[in-house]
């Protein structure tokens, strides 16, 4: 098997002619080092959003918006095509055909008044189905042999539309017959990220942001040595640089650290998606398309001692604390189970839970937008306990943020929590709720929305002086 690298380019990295030129140079340089270079692309930036918004509008009876949206998307793709590969045979027609399909699907949704998950996947998949042939044509024109590959022909998934899971064995076999021959012939396959298909050939998607997952799937299926995720940031940073000026790129992060970070909103990589790659010991890098000379961040497996204690801090905004309180809750089993079952029925995901041993209250954090629904569900569930006076109140806090401090080395370093809280106290930040994961690799605390930036900055100062 060839020594292969899989390079996944995100939406901004294929967002227009200038970005695609960068991609071409990156791939060209990669080919001097690697016998096999496979490219996985996202839709051009913003395209998936437009496709899905338009589909949802059609569902609400506004299917008349679709032709204008299709025109806008056509112009976006054709503008890039005109600059990069104006004479590429068939690409403009292919883009037009995709957008005709988009308009027809939106029309059907409008007539039915309903957008099924399957229809939404057919629509969302069009973004990647347009970008891959465009990028392949641009590479060819620049003298790099390339061929578009529709992942629907390679990635076999279940039929859980909008969140499909791949069958890796079948996918590996198909990659061997569809993609390997291209690599062996010195051709760069330009594969659509984000999508797959069921055994019956119906298109599925892996979930929003799923093209990282595609990068990992092809990394494994092609038995690649490395997977490089090209994006618009310089890797994984110690904090959001818009909040902390001194934020810097981490040269290395463990899988567990990135999992904690990703969960709390540092949307660099989705942990679920990269696990297969890290577990197989395939090197995974996050790199910046617009500054390719920088090394980026390497994601490593969890083993081995980790340098530093506090490594990164993030804020997950738009949250709200719900508190269930009552003297009659003490010692009664099942209150927590019923609470969380009631929340689960609203299909809301809880990001943090805390209960003190007095058992007089349970509190947990949910997205602000879901708080009213959740509150109602709880009131219903505990109607009897309310009547009896066992539960006194169910309250929702004003908007808040979950601030998470991450560092695998925290596990072996006592006193970190103390320093975190001293730093916050000194900065005048009021901590409302605290939780520490049992992995001891992260501490999360909830602060009022207005104090989130202050909290992140105060904790980041610890990174500058102690960790990293």
Residues lying near Mg ion in the complex (CB under 5 A): 10, 209
Smallest separation, CB 208 to Mg ion (Å): 8
Using CB under 6 A as the binding rule, whether residue 196 contacts ligand ASP is answered as no
Among ligand ASP, Mg ion, none, the one that 189 touches (CB under a kind-dependent 5 to 8 A) is none
Q: Which is nearer to ligand ASP, 125 or 406 (CB)?
A: 125
Show Cβ contacts of residue 360 under 8 Å, excluding neighbours closer than 6 positions.
Answer: 325, 326, 327, 329, 330
Q: What CA–CA distance (Å, rounded) separates 91 from 88? A: 6
Among ligand ASP, Mg ion, none, the one that 348 touches (CB under a kind-dependent 5 to 8 A) is none
Helix axes 117-124, 47-59, angle to 10 degrees: 150
Q: Considering only CA atoms, which of 45, 207, 220 is closest in space to residue 125? A: 207
Binding ligand ASP by CB under 6 A: which of 110, 210, 219, 468?
Answer: 210
Q: Considering only CA atoms, which of 247, 227, 241, 260 is closest in space to residue 7? A: 227
Binding ligand ASP by CB under 6 A: which of 15, 36, 127, 166?
Answer: 127
Backbone torsions φ then ψ of 189, nearest 5 degrees: -75, 130
Among ligand ASP, Mg ion, none, the one that 127 touches (CB under a kind-dependent 5 to 8 A) is ligand ASP
Q: What CA–CA distance (Å, rounded) separates 321 from 464? A: 31
Using CB under 6 A as the binding rule, whether residue 54 contacts ligand ASP is answered as no
Smallest separation, CB 196 to ligand ASP (Å): 12
H helix runs in 179-247, sequence order: 180-184, 211-221
Measuring CA to CA, how many Å separate 346 from each of 160, 374, 379?
A: 20, 7, 13
The three-class DSSP label of residue 426 is: helix
Among ligand ASP, Mg ion, none, the one that 43 touches (CB under a kind-dependent 5 to 8 A) is ligand ASP
Using CB under 6 A as the binding rule, whether residue 13 contacts ligand ASP is answered as no
Using CB under 6 A as the binding rule, whether residue 467 contacts ligand ASP is answered as no
CA angle at 363 for the pair 317 and 240, rounded to the nearest 5°: 20
Map tokens 């299926």 to a residue. 221
Using CB under 6 A as the binding rule, whether residue 22 contacts ligand ASP is answered as no
Q: Which is nearer to ligand ASP, 58 or 151 (CB)?
A: 151
Using CB under 6 A as the binding rule, whether residue 189 contacts ligand ASP is answered as no
Map tokens 């057919």 to a residue. 122
Q: Which is nearer to ligand ASP, 11 or 407 (CB)?
A: 11
Using CB under 6 A as the binding rule, whether residue 42 contacts ligand ASP is answered as yes
Q: What CA–CA distance (Å, rounded) separates 457 from 244? A: 6
Q: Give yes or no for a contact between 198 and 159, defined as CB atoms under 8 angstroms apart.
A: yes
Question: With CB under 6 A, what is the number of residues at the site for ligand ASP?
Answer: 12
Strand partners, 392: none
Using CB under 6 A as the binding rule, whether residue 272 contacts ligand ASP is answered as no
Q: Which is nearer to Mg ion, 13 or 451 (CB)?
A: 13
Name the helix (H) or strand (E) containing 394: strand 393-396
Using CB under 6 A as the binding rule, whether residue 208 contacts ligand ASP is answered as yes
- Residue ranges with strand state E in 113-177: 146-149
Q: Which is nearer to Mg ion, 288 or 361 (CB)?
A: 288
Using CB under 6 A as the binding rule, whether residue 12 contacts ligand ASP is answered as no
Q: Which is nearer to Mg ion, 189 or 209 (CB)?
A: 209
Using CB under 6 A as the binding rule, whether residue 195 contacts ligand ASP is answered as no
Residues that bind ligand ASP (CB under 6 A): 10-11, 42-43, 48, 127, 193-194, 208-211
């Amino acid at each position: 098997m060839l020594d292969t690298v899989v390079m996944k380019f995100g939406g901004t990295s294929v967002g227009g002619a200038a970005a695609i030129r960068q991609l071409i140079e990156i791939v060209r340089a990669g080919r001097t080092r690697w016998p096999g270079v496979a490219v996985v692309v996202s839709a051009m930036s913003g395209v998936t959003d437009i496709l899905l918004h338009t589909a949802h509008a059609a569902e609400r009876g506004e299917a008349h918006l679709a032709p204008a949206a299709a025109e806008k998307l056509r112009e976006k793709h054709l503008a890039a095509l005109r600059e990069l590969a104006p004479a590429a045979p068939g690409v403009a027609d292919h883009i037009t055909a995709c957008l005709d399909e988009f308009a027809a699907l939106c029309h059907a949704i409008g007539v039915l008044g309903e957008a099924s998950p399957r229809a939404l996947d057919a629509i969302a998949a069009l973004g990647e189905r347009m970008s891959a042939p465009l990028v392949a044509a641009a590479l060819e024109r620049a003298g790099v042999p390339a061929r578009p590959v529709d992942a629907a022909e390679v990635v076999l998934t279940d039929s859980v539309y909008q969140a499909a899971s791949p069958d890796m064995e079948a996918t590996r076999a198909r990659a061997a017959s569809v993609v390997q021959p291209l690599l062996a012939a010195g051709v760069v396959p330009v594969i659509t990220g984000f999508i797959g298909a069921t055994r019956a050939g119906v298109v599925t998607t892996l979930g929003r942001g799923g093209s990282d997952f595609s990068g990992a799937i092809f990394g494994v299926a092609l038995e690649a040595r490395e997977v490089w995720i090209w994006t618009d940031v310089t890797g994984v940073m110690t904090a959001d640089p818009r909040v902390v000026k001194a934020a810097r790129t981490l040269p290395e992060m463990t899988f567990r650290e990135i999992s904690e970070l990703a969960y709390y909103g540092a949307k660099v990589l989705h942990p679920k998606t990269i696990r297969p790659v890290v577990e197989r010991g395939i090197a995974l890098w996050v790199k910046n398309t617009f500054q390719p000379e920088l090394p980026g961040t390497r994601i490593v497996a969890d083993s081995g001692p980790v340098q530093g204690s506090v490594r990164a801090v993030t804020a997950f905004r738009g949250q709200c604390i719900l508190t269930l309180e009552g003297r009659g809750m003490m010692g009664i089993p099942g209150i927590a189970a019923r609470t969380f079952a009631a929340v689960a029925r609203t299909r809301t995901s809880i990001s943090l839970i805390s209960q003190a041993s007095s058992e007089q209250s349970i509190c947990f954090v949910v997205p602000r937008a879901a708080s009213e629904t959740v509150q109602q569900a709880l009131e219903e569930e505990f109607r009897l306990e309310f009547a009896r006076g066992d539960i006194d109140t169910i309250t929702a806090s004003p908007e808040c943020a979950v601030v998470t401090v991450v560092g695998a080395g925290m596990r072996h370093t006592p006193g970190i929590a103390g320093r975190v809280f001293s730093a916050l106290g000194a900065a005048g930040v009021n901590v409302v709720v605290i939780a520490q994961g049992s992995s001891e690799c992260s501490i999360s605390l909830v602060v009022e929305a207005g104090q989130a930036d202050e909290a992140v900055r105060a904790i980041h100062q610890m990174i500058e002086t102690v960790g990293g």
